[in-house]
Amino acid sequence: MAITIRDIARELGLSPMTVSRALSPTESLSVKPFTRQRVEEAALRLGYQINRSARNLASGRTFVLGVWISHLHSSVYSQIVKACQEAVQNTSLELSVSEMDWHFYDEDAHRRFQWPVDGVLAVDPPPLGEMEKLLGPTPWQDIPRVHLGSGQSVPWDGDFVFVDLGAGTRAAIEHLLSVGCTRIAYVSPPGADRPGMCHFDAYIETMRRAGLAPRVIVSPSWDIAAARQAVREFVERNGSVDGIYCHHDEFAIAAFRAVRDLGLRVPEDVALIGCEGNAFLEYFDPPLSTIAMPIGEMCHRAVELLQRRIKLLDAAPQNLTLPFEFLKRASSR
């Protein structure tokens, strides 16, 4: 037989109303902390399960946050989803993850978030005009939304948490210049090799300021095997490079293998830097440098902003910019 709020109240000698408030995500703070802890421990011990349907009807909320993300086959996006899950694990909230294929513009993307949510965490979304084409007639614009990631070059006047990877790119290229590199290539995924994209703009600007010709290597897809082949073919066709900066860390791995395929050494012949801050780059020989994002802090702050937005729909937007960290390792001399 299912355990009820009345069973918990009887066990603790409390009123059912007090137990109900203690277990309510919207009213629990009105209960004294010691009492709330007793109720939560008893609920866990007795095996109490919240009636989600009744709770949602009573509150008018789902207690679910949507995460809109391009795809999960990129390790950094998987890390972002994990960090978002960690940010809500001690709350009454749950996540619903939708792979929106921002980069591939899937015509069926609007079908992926039909389950109702209280708010949305949109990771590196495209401009609103492109979102409108993708998401169609669904009422997505009425849902509280926070943008997060490194794509704040995309215009958005709402809440966002931003890591300035354009500044990170400049730091990476300036470092390669400082160690004597003059033939520096930028390895880009498809679609990121155009004005308005933060990595691309920062790379072009820094190279031109140094009086050097840009060398942009565009992979035909996000697949690292394709990126490896693109780097190898570029060098074979255009001559050697002495520095490589990659749009993300998986491309840095691809470039590392391409350099080895060509019989070149890292860093003696080619200095190499990735971007995102994946921990596994430290385990290469030599360890690979990278521009790191504070993913955990970014996601926690974004969840906080979204909870605030859900409660205060008319509040002024908050915009947070978090610093990158240049993890300088042996691959970049």
Q: pLDDT tens digits, residue range 103-113?
A: 655 555 555 56
Domain containing 18 equals: 5-59
Instruction: Give the total number of structural domains in the chain.
Output: 3
Do 137 and 241 lie in a common domain?
A: no
Q: Does pLDDT of 217 surpass 80? A: yes
Do 160 and 302 lie in a common domain?
A: yes
Do 135 and 81 lie in a common domain?
A: yes
Do 158 and 122 lie in a common domain?
A: yes
Do 143 and 197 lie in a common domain?
A: no
- Residue ending a domain, among 35, 59, 83, is 59
- Residue ending a domain, among 26, 41, 59, is 59
pLDDT value for 56:
47
- Residue ending a domain, among 59, 76, 92, is 59
Do 70 and 209 lie in a common domain?
A: no
> Which residue type does 308 have?
R
Q: Does pLDDT of 52 surpass 60? A: no
The confidence band for 53, taking pLDDT boundaries of 50, 70 and 90, is very low
**Helix spans in the chain (H):** 5-12, 16-22, 33-46, 52-59, 75-88, 128-135, 165-178, 198-209, 224-238, 249-261, 295-311
The CATH number assigned to the domain holding 250 equals 3.40.50.2300
Question: What number is the average pLDDT over the span 267-286?
Answer: 96
Full-model pTM: 0.79
pLDDT value for 329:
97
Structure tokens at 35: 């009492």
Do 202 and 115 lie in a common domain?
A: no
Do 289 and 299 lie in a common domain?
A: no
Rounded Cα distance, 270 and 242, in Å: 4
Across the chain, what does the average pLDDT equal? 87
* Cβ partners under 8 Å of residue 256, min gap 6: 266, 272, 284, 288, 331
Do 93 and 122 lie in a common domain?
A: yes
pLDDT value for 57:
43
Do 142 and 169 lie in a common domain?
A: no
Do 176 and 285 lie in a common domain?
A: yes
Do 280 and 184 lie in a common domain?
A: yes
The confidence band for 25, taking pLDDT boundaries of 50, 70 and 90, is low
